[in-house]
């Protein structure tokens, strides 16, 4: 299983995943040309993308979807609620509805319900032949009932959106927006993300990618320091920790 986060942040999100079953994207909140360029830089081609998994319908996760569909016509995997939201404005004959789980040849996909201010929002666990990936962003919390199934995976892509102190002291953010971000239907803070990762990381974990960092209320160092502190306290470790960026892809990571 190979993974590269192509873009991550409030201006657009997209992640590339390659498995033995095929190549797919998680969200398309950037232009097809951006995706083409980033994939080309890691020796990949958009023509080989046979599926897209959508987490939710906020514009930074679907803005490039309509154009990408017209050009490449991949299968679009969505929940029923997301299908009802998307299908009117973004028509396609290739929508496929996901329930709680989906199997595509050897690839098993589990839907993890997240908590965000939209009609429906989800994260995913992808598992194939002993390799595993967790992808969760845009959520105010992660339900404890999912913690066991999220534990000890190979690669975690998890939101680490904001530093609480930076957010609360940001004069450009009105109070209602701060409350939205901090609320149960908002975003994970560095502290939240670090806590969850300190619970989930196990002996099989090889890499963590911190995602969806706020441009105005976070820094790479703050996010990394928060996670390293939490791992030290819990006597956990991870070989590779990466911070995803808005306009730069990560390396192609193999787990």
The phi-psi region of residue 9 (left if phi > 0; otherwise alpha if psi is between -120 and 50; otherwise beta) is left
Q: Determine whether domain 2-247 maps to CATH 3.40.30.10.
A: no
Domain boundaries, the chain: 2-247
- Residuewise pLDDT in 10s, the chain (255 residues): 999 999 999 999 999 999 999 999 999 999 999 999 999 999 999 999 999 999 999 999 999 999 999 999 999 999 999 999 999 999 999 999 999 999 999 999 999 999 999 999 999 999 999 999 999 999 999 999 999 999 999 999 999 999 999 999 999 999 999 999 999 999 999 999 999 999 999 999 999 999 999 999 999 999 999 999 999 999 999 999 999 999 999 999 999
Per residue in 61-76, is it b (16+ CB within 10 Å) or e — as a string?
bbbbbbebbeebebbb
């Amino acid at each position: 299983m190979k993974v590269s986060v192509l873009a991550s942040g409030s201006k657009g999100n997209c992640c590339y995943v390659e498995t033995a079953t095929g190549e797919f994207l998680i969200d398309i909140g950037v232009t097809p040309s951006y995706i083409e360029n980033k994939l080309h830089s890691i020796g990949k081609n958009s023509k080989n993308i046979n599926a897209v998994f959508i987490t939710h319908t906020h514009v930074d996760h679907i803005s490039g979807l309509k154009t990408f569909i017209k050009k490449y016509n991949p299968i679009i995997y969505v929940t029923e609620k997301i299908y009802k939201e998307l299908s009117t404005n973004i028509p396609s004959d290739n929508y496929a509805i996901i329930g709680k789980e989906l199997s595509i040849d050897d690839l098993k996909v589990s839907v993890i319900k997240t908590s965000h201010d939209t009609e429906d929002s989800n994260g995913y666990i992808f598992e194939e032949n002993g390799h595993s990936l967790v992808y969760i962003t845009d959520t105010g919390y992660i339900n404890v009932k999912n913690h066991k199934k999220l534990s000890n995976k190979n690669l975690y892509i998890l939101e680490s959106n904001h530093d609480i102190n930076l957010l609360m002291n940001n004069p450009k953010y009105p109070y209602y927006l701060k409350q939205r971000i901090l609320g149960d239907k908002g975003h994970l803070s560095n502290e939240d993300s670090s806590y969850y990762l300190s619970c989930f990381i196990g002996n099989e974990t090889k890499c963590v990618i911190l995602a969806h960092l706020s441009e105005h209320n976070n820094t790479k160092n703050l996010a990394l320091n928060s996670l390293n502190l939490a791992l030290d306290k819990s006597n956990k470790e991870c070989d590779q920790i990466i911070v995803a960026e808005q306009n730069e892809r990560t390396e192609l990571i193999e787990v």
